[in-house]
Amino acid sequence: MDYLGPVPARLVLYLPHRPEGLASFAHAPSAQAVIAANSNHWRKIVTLLAKVACPVAEDWRSFRDDHLFAQTALCFSPTLKTGDGWHWVAGQANLQRFTSLDQDARGLPEDGGIAVDWARRVLLSPYPDYRQLSNQRVSLIRGVLAQAGFYDGLGC
């Protein structure tokens, strides 16, 4: 099983490993199920995904708990899914798995650790962990998505 969430999704976060118990909650994915079946590490991942994807930044907690997998998805294979959504490849080691990824991402002037390929809707960032993906970096990513119209008309 290489995918968790809606097809298509507005934002797909690509990761190199799967959460424990994936098959048990794949039919009805929820942040609570992912967190309950896994360690604190997965709580951080789904929380950072919610902080990025939530239409209103301050409402990320309720978005995570009630709407996360209605709008976003997790993908564990190194191939971009088709669709009009955004592709978020997190972590340098993870990016190296994408051997056929033809992207032209450019580092942001504010933080070269975050890069964007506007044409392909590909976002490259550090791994979603609080030490590597700080609130400041989350704000930069939200700025990129806002500039692209990601949050326009998006409600919970």
Of 127, 135, 136, 153, the residue nearest 71 (C-alpha): 153
Read off the pLDDT band of 155 (50, 70, 90): low
Segment 57-79 shows an average pLDDT of 96
Neighbours of 1 (CB within 10 A): 9
3-state class (DSSP) for residue 14: strand
Segment 29-52 shows an average pLDDT of 95
143: CB partners within 8 A, 6+ apart = none
Segment 147-156 shows an average pLDDT of 81
CA 35, CA 93: separation in Å to the nearest integer?
23
pLDDT at 118: 94
β 86-90/115-117 pair status:
unpaired
pLDDT of 55 strictly over 70? yes
Please report where in the chains the tokens 């119209």 appear, as a residue: 149
pLDDT at 103: 77
User: Two tokens at 17?
Assistant: 């490993």
Segment 52-79 shows an average pLDDT of 96
Which 8-state DSSP code applies to residue 52? H
pLDDT of 31 strictly over 60? yes
| pLDDT, tens only, 98-118 | 987 877 899 999 999 999 999
pLDDT at 154: 63
Percent of the chain with pLDDT over 90: 88
pLDDT of 25 strictly over 90? yes
Which 8-state DSSP code applies to residue 90? E
pLDDT at 156: 53
Percent of the chain with pLDDT over 70: 98
Segment 83-91 shows an average pLDDT of 94
What's the whole-model pTM score? 0.95
Strand ranges of the sheet holding 86-90, from the earlier edge strand across to the other edge:
3-4, 72-75, 11-14, 86-90, 122-125, 115-117, 106-107
pLDDT at 102: 73
Q: Which DSSP helix (H) or strand (E) runs through 48?
A: helix 40-53
